[in-house]
Amino acid sequence: MAAYVIVNVTVTDPDGYQSYRDAVSSNIMAYGGSYVVRGGEVEVLEGKHDGSRLVILMFPTIDQAKRWWNSPEYAEIKKLRKGNAKFDAFVVDGT
Protein backbone atom coordinates (compact mmCIF):
# COMPACT_ATOMS: atom_id res chain seq x y z
CA MET A 1 0.00 0.00 0.00
CA ALA A 2 1.35 3.42 -0.91
CA ALA A 3 2.40 5.85 1.80
CA TYR A 4 2.59 9.61 1.69
CA VAL A 5 4.99 11.98 3.38
CA ILE A 6 3.27 15.32 3.85
CA VAL A 7 5.41 18.33 4.69
CA ASN A 8 4.48 21.91 5.52
CA VAL A 9 7.51 24.05 4.79
CA THR A 10 8.10 27.63 5.85
CA VAL A 11 11.13 28.87 3.94
CA THR A 12 13.02 31.49 5.93
CA ASP A 13 15.99 31.90 3.56
CA PRO A 14 15.18 31.08 -0.08
CA ASP A 15 18.81 31.28 -1.25
CA GLY A 16 20.02 28.96 1.51
CA TYR A 17 17.10 26.58 1.00
CA GLN A 18 17.96 26.14 -2.67
CA SER A 19 20.90 23.84 -1.85
CA TYR A 20 18.50 21.54 0.02
CA ARG A 21 16.06 21.52 -2.91
CA ASP A 22 18.88 20.73 -5.33
CA ALA A 23 20.07 17.76 -3.27
CA VAL A 24 16.85 16.15 -2.08
CA SER A 25 15.10 15.12 -5.32
CA SER A 26 17.56 12.43 -6.38
CA ASN A 27 17.67 11.15 -2.78
CA ILE A 28 13.88 10.78 -2.69
CA MET A 29 13.92 8.90 -6.00
CA ALA A 30 16.74 6.61 -4.80
CA TYR A 31 14.36 5.38 -2.08
CA GLY A 32 11.47 4.82 -4.50
CA GLY A 33 9.72 8.08 -3.75
CA SER A 34 8.18 10.61 -6.09
CA TYR A 35 6.60 14.04 -5.81
CA VAL A 36 2.83 14.30 -5.87
CA VAL A 37 2.82 17.98 -4.90
CA ARG A 38 5.84 20.26 -4.73
CA GLY A 39 4.80 23.74 -3.75
CA GLY A 40 2.12 25.17 -5.95
CA GLU A 41 -0.64 27.53 -5.04
CA VAL A 42 -2.95 26.46 -2.23
CA GLU A 43 -6.61 27.45 -2.50
CA VAL A 44 -8.48 27.18 0.78
CA LEU A 45 -11.85 25.48 0.37
CA GLU A 46 -12.68 25.48 4.08
CA GLY A 47 -10.86 26.53 7.21
CA LYS A 48 -7.50 28.26 6.93
CA HIS A 49 -4.00 27.74 5.60
CA ASP A 50 -0.97 29.29 7.23
CA GLY A 51 0.73 30.10 3.93
CA SER A 52 3.38 27.40 4.23
CA ARG A 53 4.63 25.53 1.19
CA LEU A 54 3.01 22.11 0.84
CA VAL A 55 4.99 19.08 -0.34
CA ILE A 56 3.51 15.59 -0.72
CA LEU A 57 5.73 12.61 -1.53
CA MET A 58 4.56 9.12 -2.42
CA PHE A 59 6.49 5.95 -1.52
CA PRO A 60 5.59 2.32 -2.24
CA THR A 61 5.16 1.55 1.49
CA ILE A 62 5.28 3.31 4.84
CA ASP A 63 8.42 1.32 5.68
CA GLN A 64 10.12 2.63 2.54
CA ALA A 65 9.13 6.21 3.43
CA LYS A 66 10.61 5.78 6.90
CA ARG A 67 13.79 4.22 5.46
CA TRP A 68 14.24 7.33 3.34
CA TRP A 69 13.47 9.74 6.21
CA ASN A 70 15.87 7.96 8.57
CA SER A 71 18.60 7.20 6.03
CA PRO A 72 22.16 8.42 6.58
CA GLU A 73 22.07 10.07 3.15
CA TYR A 74 18.99 12.10 3.99
CA ALA A 75 20.41 12.98 7.41
CA GLU A 76 23.22 14.80 5.60
CA ILE A 77 20.78 16.55 3.24
CA LYS A 78 18.58 17.67 6.17
CA LYS A 79 21.53 19.71 7.43
CA LEU A 80 21.25 21.88 4.30
CA ARG A 81 17.84 23.19 5.36
CA LYS A 82 18.90 24.06 8.92
CA GLY A 83 18.37 27.77 9.44
CA ASN A 84 16.79 28.05 5.99
CA ALA A 85 13.37 26.47 6.54
CA LYS A 86 11.03 25.11 9.20
CA PHE A 87 9.41 21.71 8.57
CA ASP A 88 6.35 19.92 9.92
CA ALA A 89 6.44 16.41 8.42
CA PHE A 90 4.03 13.49 8.63
CA VAL A 91 3.84 10.02 7.13
CA VAL A 92 0.45 8.54 6.29
CA ASP A 93 -0.63 5.13 4.98
CA GLY A 94 -2.49 5.43 1.69
CA THR A 95 -5.66 3.60 0.79
Chain centroid to CA 57: how far? 6
Q: What is the pLDDT of residue 62?
A: 96
* Helix, strand, or coil (residue 89): strand
Residue 64 in domain: no
In a domain, 56, yes or no: no
Residue 82: inside a domain: no
Q: How many domains does the chain have?
A: 1
Domain-located, residue 4: yes
Using DSSP, state whether 57 is helix, strand or coil.
strand
DSSP state of 84: T
For residue 20, tell me if it sits in a domain: yes
Sequence letter at residue 79: K
Enclosing domain of residue 25: 1-41
Does residue 14 sit within a domain? yes
C-alpha 15/C-alpha 30 separation (Å) is 25
Q: What is the pLDDT along the chain (95 residues), one digit of tens a residue?
A: 899 999 999 999 999 999 999 999 999 999 999 999 998 889 999 999 988 999 999 999 999 999 999 999 999 999 999 999 999 999 999 87
Q: What are the residues whose beta carbons fall under 8 Å from the beta carbon of 26, sequence distance 6 or more? A: none
Task: Look at residue 72 and tell me if it is in a domain.
Answer: no
